[in-house]
Amino acid sequence: MYEEEFVDEIEPFPLIGERFPEVEVHTTIGKIKLPDYYVEKGKWFVLFSHPADFTPVCTTEFVSFQKNYEKFKELNTELIGLSIDQVFSHIKWIEWIKEKLNVEIEFPIIADDRGELAEILGMISPYKGSNTVRAVFIVDNKGIIRAILYYPQEVGRNVEEILRLVKALQTSDEKGVATPANWPNNELIGDKVIIPPATSIEEAEERKKAAEKGEIESYDWWFCYKKLQ
């Protein structure tokens, strides 16, 4: 009985496949509504949290996100940061980055100074203090959460991996395929993509025949792959 009551009290965090929570946030470009601000423009977006402004690891991450911003844009994807600092702190910090590091941060940053959105998204761990951990939410152009990543405060993120993940998700959507580990540099099949497994005996037999004809490549009927067209 106690366990059931305890479970009922826990607020569930958003999951992959759910719509991103509808919230109005205060950012460095003013108030915006998520996810509609990007969905209405037909954009994907990457929302990433950082523990605090004016901290070394966070500064390196923001510089890296900005340096790769054009690559995200090429994938029809926008960036938006978040921490529980106030907006004036964000503004002063990005001024410092521009002055000292000669990098102009062009994407908005959410000032979640009450921690409300951070709580909804599970960005604050009671075991890691009151600041946000390094969370990443990749949201598609329909407002659906497609991927969630969490990093501890002491480890900076690999922005190239986040880019790779966005590209892989979009490729999977467009081509109806899956991507292997480390794609497009997989140790077994290189930059080729995986054909979803057969779901019937008939389809399995068709895969075998297609492989025999050289139409696809395979290790077996359940592990077929092809060059991305």
Query: What are the pLDDT digits (tens) for 74-132?
Result: 999 999 999 999 999 999 999 999 999 999 999 999 999 988 999 999 998 888 888 89
Residue 169: inside a domain, yes or no? no
173-212 in b/e form (b: 16+ CB < 10 A) is eeeebebbeebbebeebeebbbbeebeeeeeeeebeebbe
Pair (114, 188) in one structural domain:
no
Whether residue 80 is contained in a domain is answered as yes
Q: Are residues 32 and 120 in the same domain?
A: yes
Confidence of residue 229 (pLDDT cuts 50, 70, 90): confident
- Alpha-carbon gap, residue 109 to 99, rounded angstroms: 18
Identify whether residues 77 and 122 lie together within a single domain: yes
Residue 210 has pLDDT above 50, yes or no: yes
Question: Is this model's pTM higher than 0.85 or not?
Answer: yes
Average pLDDT over residues 184-192: 97
In 3D space, the residue among 102, 105, 100 whose CA is nearest the CA of residue 50 turns out to be 105
In a domain, 116, yes or no: yes
**Are 113 and 182 part of one and the same domain?**
no
Residue 11 has pLDDT above 70, yes or no: no
C-alpha to C-alpha distance for 107 and 61, rounded to whole angstroms:
13
Instruction: Please check whether residues 131 and 45 belong to one and the same domain.
Output: yes
Q: Can 58 be counted among the known catalytic residues?
A: yes
Lowest mean pLDDT among 2-6, 134-138, 183-187: 2-6
Phi, psi (rounded to 5 degrees) for 92: -65, -40
Domain count of the fold of the chain: 2
Same domain flag for 11 and 95: yes
Statement to judge: residues 86 and 193 lie in one domain = no
Q: Is 75 a member of any domain?
A: yes
If asked whether residues 74 and 20 sit together in one domain, one would say: yes
pLDDT of 130 reads 86
**Residue 4 pLDDT exceeds 60:** no
pLDDT score recorded for residue 7: 44
- Its domain, for residue 221, covers 176-229
Q: Do the domain assignments include residue 186?
A: yes
Angle at the Cα of 47 from the Cα atoms of 44 and 52, rounded to 5 degrees: 160
Point out the domain boundary residue: 99, 128, 157: 157
Q: Which residue of the set 34, 39, 58, 121 is catalytic? A: 58
Residue 13 shares a structural domain with residue 91: yes
